[in-house]
């Protein structure tokens, strides 16, 4: 990837109201290989700097309309990235020093020797290059770091978060936003927008003129604009704010534009550079392939999830009593996972495990599980094999390796009296400890062949009674808190079985 800024000649702007000085400097600097333009005062200089990029400006202190100091202040205010060198007569050295304090690079005393001017210009530009290369190195490093992080996740939301937060941090923009096109018929949608400022939740955001941006993309014209010239890319800006600088780069997957990455500056003097636009382009390239991967993976996951749900439902379909059991265990498990602040990937893994936890029952004669009386000792021994059968079904499937421990150990008990291995406390994988609580709660609050459903209150009392023996007490506590929250929030339709039953006996065949 090309990071070089010096493929083109260095550009120098000379601002002086004296024609002869303009001509001398122009001639000599041109001979040295610089591209030189001259203007007559600060006002013209500012216009020129707004329209074209320069590496260095040599300016006289006193000029009509706008003098050197005012020009320097405007350069600072507008965030124009250019070195400033002053020319001054002997009597105004103090003013020149004042200018240095305001950020001027150096000053030249009139009358000057041409070699001296050339020396100052060259030294300044070398220093500028060094600084710029430093920035590029730092940016290259952050792109590298981001790419590394991106390879470690396949969750789309997580990928988007990494991209936008890296963009915001590295560009030092006020706002970074990522837009994606969901499918070819729908438009672009803002997927994530992050701001450095504290914003009200319902604050309006940028309303983009997508037609204009897409036209630039198609014609391969960079979208890097400042001030009023950026306005054409917007239908509306948030709350009458004045945009200072704007960059937009496309996200492309297999040559198709699928989204865009935008940064906004609303701070006076904070103007983006061409270097930043290049940096953002590289970042967008990495981002696009990460988004592509995450989407493919998400599709695969969704298809896969549906297959599993299909499995679980098919398994329960013939049995009136366990109908919907896996779905409900998944919902209760998800509540607990949120209460324990699991990250999204972990929640997902737990949910899959919940859906599959009893998959091993496939290998057990159904009749034994559906009878109205309690199981005989032999039948119970057979029943107890289902976690191990589950393990053996899932283990060969690469996708499902991660959930095997949860499925295999979901009948372990906290005090070590469970099966299949009799693990205790923290030896039992946390996912399995969660499943145990969710599973038993659902078994208690569902009708079974041998008894009617128990009420929520009774089931909770039973969980509390067995906290520390059968169950991890911390997980019981979290479950009860989360269930109370969910029950208080009556609109939460995702929580099944809140109706009360009226029997008083718990059962463990879950
Ligand atoms: Fe179960
Ligand atoms: Fe089970």
Cα(377) to centroid of ligand 2, in Å?
Answer: 17
Name which of 430, 474, 436 is nearest 332 in CA terms.
436
Tell whether domain 11-133 is in CATH 2.40.30.260: no
Cα(208) to centroid of ligand 1, in Å?
Answer: 51
Cα(388) to centroid of ligand 2, in Å?
Answer: 10
Cα(408) to centroid of ligand 2, in Å?
Answer: 9
* pLDDT (tens digit per residue) in 408-445: 999 999 999 999 999 999 999 999 999 999 999 999 99
Q: Which ligand is nearest to the CA of 406?
A: 2
Cα(235) to centroid of ligand 1, in Å?
Answer: 55
What's the distance, CA 142 to chain centroid?
15
193, 204, 246 from 199: Cα distances, Å: 11, 10, 19
Q: What is the pTM of this model?
A: 0.52
Q: Which ligand is nearest to the CA of 384?
A: 2
List the end-to-end C-alpha distance of the chain, in Å, as a whole number.
Answer: 58
Report residue 86 as tokens.
Answer: 């002053």
Cα(375) to centroid of ligand 2, in Å?
Answer: 15
For domain 318-488, give the CATH number. Answer: 1.10.3210.10
Name which of 153, 167, 221 is nearest 196 in CA terms.
167
Cα(501) to centroid of ligand 1, in Å?
Answer: 19
Question: What pLDDT was estimated at residue 4?
Answer: 36
| In contact, 87 and 61? CB cutoff 8 Å | yes
DSSP 7: S
Cα(299) to centroid of ligand 2, in Å?
Answer: 29
Cα(3) to centroid of ligand 2, in Å?
Answer: 59
* pLDDT (tens digit per residue) in 205-240: 888 999 999 999 988 888 998 888 888 899 888 877
Name which of 508, 490, 473, 495 is nearest 332 in CA terms.
495
Domain boundaries of the chain, sorted by first residue: 11-133, 153-288, 318-488
Residue for token pair 């107890």: 384
Cα(386) to centroid of ligand 2, in Å?
Answer: 7
Q: Which ligand is nearest to the CA of 315?
A: 1
Q: Which ligand is nearest to the CA of 420?
A: 2
Cα(322) to centroid of ligand 1, in Å?
Answer: 8
Tell whether domain 153-288 is in CATH 3.90.1150.10: no
Q: Which ligand is nearest to the CA of 387?
A: 2
CA distance 177 to 175: 7
Cα(510) to centroid of ligand 2, in Å?
Answer: 5
**Cα-based angle 176, 197, 135 (whole degrees, multiple of 5):** 55
Strand 56-60 relative to strand 11-15, pairing? parallel
Cα(413) to centroid of ligand 2, in Å?
Answer: 12
Cα(443) to centroid of ligand 2, in Å?
Answer: 10
153, 334, 337, 352 from 343: Cα distances, Å: 12, 11, 9, 15
Each of the 510 residues of the chain gets a pLDDT tens digit; together they read 333 333 457 899 999 999 999 999 999 999 888 999 999 999 999 999 888 878 899 999 889 899 998 999 998 888 787 899 988 876 677 777 788 888 888 888 888 888 888 888 988 888 877 776 666 666 777 777 777 777 777 778 888 898 999 899 888 899 999 999 877 677 888 999 999 877 666 677 888 999 999 999 988 888 998 888 888 899 888 877 888 899 999 999 888 888 999 999 988 777 888 778 888 888 888 888 888 888 888 788 778 777 777 877 777 776 666 778 888 999 999 999 999 999 988 998 999 999 889 888 876 775 656 666 677 888 888 888 999 999 998 888 777 889 999 999 999 999 999 999 999 999 999 999 999 999 999 999 988 777 788 999 999 999 999 999 999 999 999 999 999 998 887 655 555 654 433 333 334 456
CA distance 451 to 505: 8
Cα(313) to centroid of ligand 1, in Å?
Answer: 13
Q: Which ligand is nearest to the CA of 325?
A: 1
- Provide φ and ψ at 188, rounded to 5°: -80, 145
Cα(240) to centroid of ligand 2, in Å?
Answer: 60
HSE-CB of 309 using CA atoms within 13 angstroms: 13
CA distance 266 to 230: 12
């Amino acid at each position: 990837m090309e990071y070089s800024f010096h493929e083109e000649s260095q550009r120098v702007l000379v601002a002086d109201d004296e024609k002869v000085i303009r001509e001398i400097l122009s001639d000599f600097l041109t001979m040295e290989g610089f591209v030189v333009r001259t203007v007559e005062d600060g006002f013209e200089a500012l216009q020129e700097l707004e329209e074209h990029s320069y590496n260095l400006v040599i300016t006289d202190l006193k000029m009509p309309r706008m003098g050197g100091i005012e020009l320097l202040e405007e350069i600072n205010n507008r965030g124009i990235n250019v070195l400033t060198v002053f020319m001054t007569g002997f009597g105004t050295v103090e003013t020149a020093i004042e200018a240095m304090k305001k950020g001027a690079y150096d000053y030249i005393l009139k009358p000057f020797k041409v070699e001296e001017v050339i020396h100052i210009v060259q030294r300044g530009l070398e220093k500028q290059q060094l600084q710029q290369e430093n920035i590029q190195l730092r940016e290259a490093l952050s792109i590298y770091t981001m790419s590394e992080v991106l390879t470690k996740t396949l969750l789309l939301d997580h990928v988007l978060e990494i991209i936008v937060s890296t963009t915001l941090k590295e560009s030092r923009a006020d706002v970074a936003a990522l837009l994606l096109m969901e499918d070819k018929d729908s438009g672009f949608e803002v997927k994530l927008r992050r701001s450095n400022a504290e914003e009200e939740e319902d604050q309006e955001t940028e309303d983009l003129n997508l037609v204009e941006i897409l036209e630039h993309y198609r014609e391969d014209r960079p979208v890097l604009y400042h001030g009023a010239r950026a306005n054409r890319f917007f239908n509306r800006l948030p709350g009458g704010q004045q945009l200072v600088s704007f960059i937009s780069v496309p996200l492309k997957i297999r040559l198709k534009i699928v989204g865009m990455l935008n940064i906004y500056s609303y701070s006076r003097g904070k103007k983006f550079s061409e270097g930043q636009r290049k940096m953002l382009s590289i970042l967008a390239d990495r981002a696009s392939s990460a988004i592509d991967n995450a989407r493919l993976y998400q599709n695969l996951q969704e298809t896969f999830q549906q297959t599993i749900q299909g499995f679980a439902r098919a398994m329960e379909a013939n049995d009136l009593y366990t109908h919907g059991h896996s779905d409900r265990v998944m919902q209760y498990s998800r509540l607990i996972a949120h209460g324990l602040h699991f990250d999204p990937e972990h929640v997902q893994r737990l949910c899959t495990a919940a859906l599959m936890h009893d998959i091993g029952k496939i290998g057990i004669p159904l009749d034994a599980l559906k009878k109205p009386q309690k199981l005989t000792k032999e039948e119970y021994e057979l029943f107890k094999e289902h976690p191990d059968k589950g393990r053996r079904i899932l283990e060969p499937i690469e996708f499902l390796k991660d959930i095997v421990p949860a499925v295999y150990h979901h009948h372990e008990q906290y005090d070590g009296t469970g099966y299949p291995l009799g693990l205790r406390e923290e030896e039992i994988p946390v996912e399995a400890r969660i499943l145990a609580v969710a599973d038993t709660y659902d078994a208690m609050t569902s009708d079974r062949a041998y008894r009617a459903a128990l009420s929520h209150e009774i089931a909770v009392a039973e969980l509390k009674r067995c906290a520390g023996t059968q169950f991890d007490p911390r997980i019981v506590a979290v479950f009860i808190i989360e269930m109370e929250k969910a029950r208080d929030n009556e609109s939460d339709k995702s929580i099944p079985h809140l109706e009360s039953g009226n029997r008083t006996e718990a059962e463990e065949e879950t």
